[in-house]
Structure 1
Amino acid sequence: MSESRGIETPVAEKDSSGTKVLISLAAAVIVLFGLSRISSIVGPVFLAIVLTICVYPLKQRLVLRGVPAAVATVSTILAVYAMIGALVASLWVSAVQLTQLLPQFAPQITELRGDLMVFLHDTLGIGNDQVRALVESVDLRVLLDTAYSLLGSVMNVGSGTVFLLLLVMFMSIDATYFPTILAVVKEKRAPVVEALGNFAKLSRSFMVMTTIFGAIVAVLNLILLLALGVPGAGLWALLAFVCGFIPFIGFWISLVPAAIMALLAGGLPSFIAVVAFYGVINSLIQSIIQPKFVSGSVNLNMTLTFLSVIFWSALLGPLGALMAVPLSLFARAILIDSHPQSAWLRPFIGDVTESKAMLAAQRAAAKTAKVAKGEKARKSGQESPGV
């Protein structure tokens, strides 16, 4: 009887463990579905949190310099309002400019459609029906409808902007008590407080550095587009700045419309110049220099970063793509960093500090062994003539 119980107990434990996994997965699906249904609320709320985190050091510095806390709070709120207002105004002006630009290039778009049909049919051997279906997607009316839809979305963003501004104001006021609240909570939930503090530091670093490098890329692109005489240069530069917050995919989103407009306005030479310059700048700044300041600090590997853009954009829309890295950092803080028993998962998502040290040690050992082997071979070669 005791033997049968001993045999049944592991099976029961295994069944219980599997049930817990299934329940957890089901709960996760329900939560994610709920978030997608209220994405218009979740997105602005998280953006407000990140913006408040980014400007909080400004408030601290003002208070340390003797500025009254109320004045410091109002100053940080106004700073965020200025950034949001400038971005929304730029988007509105750019959308209006886009609707004005497209009709001017109707002849060029028609000519481009004809050249594309000839190339696809004569050079690549694609059938007429397939070519016609593909080229019809380049119809000016489709592009105009898209542009007007974009303009309508930007003009209707007012209510969302007001909601965001109110959130930032309330969070900035409440931030006065954050240090004391965290100090109280830390006595009972130290790992949670440390995880949230780390999330705030990494999110602030990512947003600040991405803003700086995005501005540099946007200015350089603007100079090139103006030099080539590409219409809407400011619009494409703004698009490059915004897309800088979208890892890997953002570059292509900013490149395609600028390159097409360069092709319509200046022909193939302008098109090649834009593609080449964008490629060089992106490779140099956003793929080589920026990761040295950002990727290593946030400890997210490239695969997870790419998948996070896809995941959060599917869940929360465009704002999810822009906030993909901070959202992933927050999810890691809640699900992994706040639970010491889950620390073993960190290397799988990008924390390779120990792996780098181990790899460096292995390379050093291999180099030492190679030197020793060479030294041994040299000595044996010197001794052989005497023998």
Structure 2
Amino acid sequence: MAQRALILVEGHNGIGLLYVKAAQRLGLHPITLSADPARYDYLAAERREVIRIDTDNLDSLIRECSRLHATYDIAGITGFSGEDESACVTAGKLCRHFELPGPNPPSIERCCDKFSQRQLLTEAGVPVPAYRVAANAREVESAAAQIGLPVILKPAEGSGSVGVRLCRTADELAEHATRLLGGQRISESPPRILVEEFAQGPYYCAEIMGDEVIGIYAGEFGPQPHFVFREFTLPAQLTKDEHKRIADVSLSCLRALGLNWGPTNIEFRWTKHGPIVIEVNPRLGGAPGPQLIQLAYGIDQITEHIKLVIGDESNLRRRRSHTAAARFLVPDRDGTLDWIRGDNQAAAVSGVSEVKWYIEPKTPIVRKGDYRDWIGYVIATSPSLSQTEAILQRAVDLIDCSITPFPALGE
């Protein structure tokens, strides 16, 4: 009997290894198809099966999967997102071709275009910030004048807060528009900028599988004008009514966008008008979201997602009720990371589940104002919020690192 295989289109440095290990626990052989396998450290470190291939070429992927089918029983296909959701779309198309369970590719594509997503949500009556789309500096200026400063400027495609910035003044608006229009391309298509009202209020994120809201966590950002996460807490401290309102709006988003299969991640701001949808991501949230869900509720999102991918029934029943939180380690300057200390002591603190570093000493650090600024994180859990916060703070206080600024020009 042929071995059952799980095809992974591209990888993910945050949760890719978790998918590989979950697949193996389910008796599956994970095979990664990637245009650049070197991007994903865990593939080489774990000696996983990897095939280098152009993952933007659907025909090539179909031929490769057909070739693999001669050796393996392909049980399912799924994809990851990096700075865009293109691999998720491609995986969905492969599922359709091979008649395997998967998301609806047009629905994923509509979500990938933030302007189209906004239009569909608006037509369905889902609350979103005021918005305009712009293709040049003049249109950006006009859109901002109609909405009123401050506004958020972001690429119409992309993820991880790449290129997202709060613009408070006309000068900041012109500067960031020039940057986005001048080469920070997320794709090969002509650049388009989404100009949005700055929806102010606490940040929440709903994690969904199918049409079931698994959990809602709260997030905190670092200093503006960027939106770099500093901390996540699950569950968010919401009243029953607030939780229901976010859950109800989440399900409205799914209906509006045709998302009724697999994982979805929906971001909100709670404004004076209630929950406002900032973005709908047609995928599982990145690390450490899945880890928090498992620690707080005992639900392994990744395993349950793979079950759906291979046609099995998922089980989203909560097995515990704890509080889990993650603190991101973010540098306060550019430079070279000299050394890291205290991570082993932090990991040994009772209640700490993980201390993760993304970089090693002697690595140059150049902050970009998005998720790529994270150099690590600490996760803690306990039965209560106050205890979890105390554990997390104690662990973070034990960690130290040294960053030597880059020499000034001419030195």
TM-score by length of 2: 0.26
- By relative contact order (CA 8 Å, sep 6+), the higher-ranking structure is 1
Larger CA Rg, structure 1 vs 2: 1
| Structure (1 or 2) with the greater helix fraction | 1
TM-score by length of 1: 0.27
| Structure (1 or 2) with the greater strand fraction | 2
